Chains A and B, each alone.
Chain A
Amino acid sequence: MKIHDALLGLIIFVGGLIICYVAKDFPDQNDGKPGPWLFPVVLSLLFSLSGLILFFKKFKTLKDRPLIDVQDRVGAAGMLKILVLLSLIIFYILTSEFLGFLIAMGLTMLIMMLVLRTKLYMALLVSACATLGIYLIFAKVLLVPLPEGLFYF
């Protein structure tokens, strides 16, 4: 999926205005001179201005390309793989405290490998070894307290 630059310009323009609206309420310094609001307001105004320029620069090409091009290089299969990848990160965040690092990470890698068409036995073997390898590096060598979860590992 690809968004037309003109539409992106509008999104950037509106985004900048929203940031500016939030930042304008930040206070001045104690002596009344510009304070915490100054940088975000200036940057967001420049952001909006850039969006507007992008919109007007690309406005003429609106006829040539659709506003949102759904048929770009990635395709449906590629998009699905991206969604699985992102969902697996969320799956890990939600389950690691409960399941523990080894199970949550093992499952994350296993599912990703299967989605990328790895044979089941190979995916099981490699995901188990890789999870254990990462665990040893981070938990045992670098002493990072990885989530233990229900089963204490």
Chain B
Amino acid sequence: MFDFSVMMQGLQSILDPTVLMIIVGSGLYGLFIGAMPGLTATMAVALLVPITFYMDAVPAIASIITMSAMAIFAGDLPGTLLHIPGTPSSAAYCNDSFALAKKGKASVVLGVDLVLSALGGLFGSIILLCMAPVLAEVALQFSSYEFFWLAVLGLSCAVMISSGSPLKGFVSLLIGLLVNCVGLDITLGFPRFTFDRPELFEGFSFIPAMIGMFGIAELMKNVSEPINRNATMIEYSTDIFKGIGGVIKKYWNQIIRSQLIGTCIGILPGAGGDIAAWICYGVAKRFSKTPDEYGQGTVEGIANATTANNAAISGAFIPALVFGIPGDSLTAIIIGVLFMKGLEPGPTLFTNHGDFLFAIYMVFILANILLIPLGYIIIRLATKVMRVPTNLLNPIILGFCIVGAYAINNANFDIMAMFGFGILAFIMLKHGFPVAPAILGLVLGDMLENTFMQSMIKSEWDLTSFFSRPIAAILGLITVLLWFSPLIVKAVKKGRKVQA
């Protein structure tokens, strides 16, 4: 898989004291943001990216991975103690967590959240470590036809799986793809929609767009709908590890199932930790001996869902690293960061930058191990962290958004772009248009157009060439089936009704 020298190089790059400090620092930052109701992990990453711009590739990606793993866990804290999920990934089991906390079992819930989040993340990391190099071997045989279908498949999944109606998801995707058309075209270098502004010749910078869509849009929401964090906070003991062994022993088979499902859902483009948590919660309820307890306070449901959302983070990295197809908004940002660092995600990453990849795998494992001590610290400090007033925090975030957007090109134009994207995302969210497909469109737009034009030029505009290679034909068939899946499901249901 990896030769010894590559492994040593990878290990050396993460054992560097500066990198370790960055990992711990970003972990604490992730725990803080995750524990604050109303601030999501994606927003935290968007604010972190301008700083990673000035780091080497390994610490840059390591900081994002660690931060997101910690933030997803920390989202469970306000869900348990205040009945307000810290991130969307904790929403599925928020009612159960709070109900148990009210019964005096907050420390049990927090212990389950912490330990099973770490186990879920570790399991996903091992799957990533085992699967990614194997898939990369296969992907090395891919040409522009296969990559075109992969991009289409990824974007189609993002639309089908996204929250809300698929039609609105599709509109959101088209917005991302159209925004991506701004700038010089790849075939002739012709300026499209640039309005003679040289700043637009290279298209919109990715980071101001991210900060606008996740940072400014969330700030707009937060200042307009203040969160009631004065709700009574549940008191709890910090003896969180008591009884955790019994929970793992009792639900070990369900935990493994949720780890597997969570990782697989993470792999699907467009589906992140929140969807993984909902699905595993639903599956656990379906097969539970006590389904009536779900929603009223069940450790079983929490154990399944909290395992799944952290496993999904690692799963999302598989298509991102192997094919350059992001699994969720977080990996979409990471793909943007990789490009910024001159590393093109895809199979060549595995042949040319093995040490970097090994370092990334080790970071995943390290981040999930670190989750236990750092998570324990944040649980001890939870009452203080969650009381940080948002009327002070939101303006500081605004400051970071402005400087973060500016720092990429040292130009006020990028702050204007962030402003525009922020308004666009806020309007979209307010009207039920999911933002994730637009982000994936923005990231994958270039790949989609490049692979299409390359394939067409190679085949002299013969559209059937997209089905001329076996893997391309299979991918194309899967994509077409996915498009028509709602109709197929409808027809099958109708057929069953007629038979009945």
Contact = CB atoms under 8 A, between A and B. Distances in A.
A105 B188 contact: no
Given A93-B416, A130-B399, 10 more contacts: A19-B178, A22-B193, A23-B192, A43-B174, A47-B174, A74-B224, A92-B415, A93-B419, A118-B389, A144-B407
Interface stretch (B61-69, B116-124, B360-368, B390-398): B390-398
A86 B399 contact: no
A50 B171 contact: yes
Contacts of A57: 167
A140 interface: no
A122 B392 contact: yes
Given A39-B449, A43-B174, A112 B398 contact: yes
Interface in A24-49: 26-27, 29-30, 33-36, 39-40, 43-44, 46-47
A36 B403 CA distance: 34
Interface string A107-150: 01100110011100010001100110010011000111110000
A73 interface: yes
B143 interface: no
Contacts of A44: 178
B177 interface: yes
A54 B174 CA distance: 14
23 contacts: A19-B178, A33-B461, A35-B185, A36-B192, A39-B449, A50-B167, A78-B223, A79-B224, A81-B224, A85-B219, A89-B216, A92-B402, A101-B403, A105-B399, A105-B402, A112-B394, A112-B395, A116-B394, A118-B391, A130-B395, A138-B403, A142-B51, A142-B54
A89 B181 contact: no
A39 B185 CA distance: 10
A23 to B, nearest CB: 7
A1 to B, nearest CB: 8
A19 to B, nearest CB: 7
Interface residues of B, number: 53
A109 B412 contact: no
Nearest to B412: A93
Chain B binding surface SS class: helix
Interface of B: 51, 54, 167-168, 170-171, 174-175, 177-178, 181, 185, 187-188, 190, 192-193, 216, 219-220, 223-225, 389-392, 394-396, 398-400, 402-403, 406-407, 410, 412, 415-416, 418-419, 423, 426, 430-432, 449, 452, 456-457, 461
B192 A108 contact: no
Contacts of A105: 399, 402-403
B181 A109 contact: no
Given A40-B192, A79-B224, A81-B224, A113 B171 contact: no
Contact of A46 (B174, B224, B415): B174
A43 to B, nearest CB: 5
A88 interface: yes
B59 to A, nearest CB: 13
A24 B193 CA distance: 12
B431 A8 contact: yes
